[in-house]
Amino acid sequence: MSAPGGGHDSGGKRTVLAAFAANLGIAVTKFIAFLITGSASMLAESVHSVADSGNQALLLVGRSRSRQEETEEHQFGFGAERYFYGFIVALVLFTVGAVFSVYEGVHRITHPEEISSPVVALVVLGIAAVLEGLSFRTAVKESNQVRGRRAWFTFIRRAKAPELPTVLLEDFAALIGLGLALIGVALTMITGDGRWDGVGSLGIGALLGCVAVILAIETKSLLIGESANAEVERAIVAALEDGPEVEQVIHLRTLHLGPDTLLVAAKIAVRRDQDAAALVSGIDQAERRVRAAVPIAEVIYLEPDLYQESRADAADPAIKAARRFSPRGAGRAAMRAARRGQAS
């Protein structure tokens, strides 16, 4: 999310398409090289590229299915389809990429074989590195438009759209994997010992396993349901309290129904002297302010109430955190507290 309101294609469709095209071409090239050389590292890299191509296809399917209209059975829509397919990507990367590469590496270490035409393998690995580098550069460029000043680790951990982090990690792992394959083939050429080729395949498998676990953990969290980040919640609180009809936000909960759809549920303190018509009008205005500040807040439920400082929800940590970093919100809260003190 680029800002509280988003507005950017958070799924990075162009990044996914670029990675899909690159990996498909790389996979074909690597398989041809494997048939010529018989290298285990090259076979592991071929399977890795096939898995990556399939993963990008799954991400595109998830994006397409997430745009379905809501139904009676799925009244909040299908935005979470992107999370589901992102989790499938992690499973594919682990089973197809990591497990196969580890198996092939162990097999070649225990049954070493000579590599035929190793120069072909080195040339193909070099070409693949260039293509992967171009794909990775596209992913980095697209990610920079939405991550802001966040560190890369924080961006991957906190991103609500699974596509960009997935492509970033896959391309990064692919570049490292190509380096491991290059080392394995080169050491086999230098030493004449085919076991180094197996070691390269084993390293690729371990690398893919680590990436798959990271993706599975992060996508699982999204599937379970994550709230909006602190910046977005601050914007919501500020928007709600930026009008005379809302005295204070008492309680706030948010939930991502999908990368670009946010559910907002809040209990708001209203003035005691309002009639029903004024109350309804005030709630409508508050909702419009929230949607203007955070366009992805498509589902908003506001519960009007009277503020009571003794109640537990008056100390909602989400509200405190949002107001702590908002000078305007803190000032408004102090003024309201002063008015209540004078009234008492």
pLDDT digits (tens, 9 = 90+) for 288-300: 999 999 999 999 9
Residue ending a domain, among 224, 243, 258, is 224
- How would residue 248 be classed by pLDDT, with cut points 50, 70 and 90? confident
pTM: 0.75
Residue with tokens 């929230």: 290
Mean pLDDT of all residues belonging to the chain: 82
Same domain (yes/no): 93, 113: yes
Same domain (yes/no): 78, 188: yes
265: helix, strand or coil: strand
Same domain (yes/no): 40, 93: yes
Same domain (yes/no): 242, 332: yes
Same domain (yes/no): 34, 165: yes
Same domain (yes/no): 109, 207: yes
Domain extent, residue 318, equals 230-343
- What average pLDDT does this structure show over 330-341? 48
Q: What angle do CA 248, 254, 256 make, to 5 degrees?
A: 155
Is residue 337, in this structure, part of any structural domain at all? yes
Pick the residue with more confidence: 85 or 328? 85
pLDDT of residue 323: 65
Same domain (yes/no): 39, 121: yes
Could you tell me how many helices (H) and strands (E) the chain has, helices first? 12, 3
Side by side, which strands form the sheet with 261-269? 248-258, 261-269, 299-305
Is residue 3, in this structure, part of any structural domain at all? no
- How would residue 306 be classed by pLDDT, with cut points 50, 70 and 90? confident
Pick the residue with more confidence: 60 or 11? 60
Q: Please determine, for residue 344, whether its predicted confidence score (pLDDT) is greater than 50.
A: no
Residue ending a domain, among 191, 224, 257, is 224
- What average pLDDT does this structure show over 190-205? 88
Same domain (yes/no): 27, 57: yes
- What average pLDDT does this structure show over 224-230? 89
Q: Please determine, for residue 338, whether its predicted confidence score (pLDDT) is greater than 60.
A: no
Taking alpha carbons only, the member of 130, 141, 125 closest to residue 177 is 125
256-276 residue pLDDT tens: 999 889 999 999 988 888 888
Same domain (yes/no): 173, 305: no
Question: In this structure, are residues 303 and 321 in contact, taking their beta carbons and an 8 Å threshold?
Answer: no
Same domain (yes/no): 91, 166: yes
Same domain (yes/no): 298, 324: yes
Same domain (yes/no): 262, 315: yes
Residue ending a domain, among 224, 253, 274, is 224
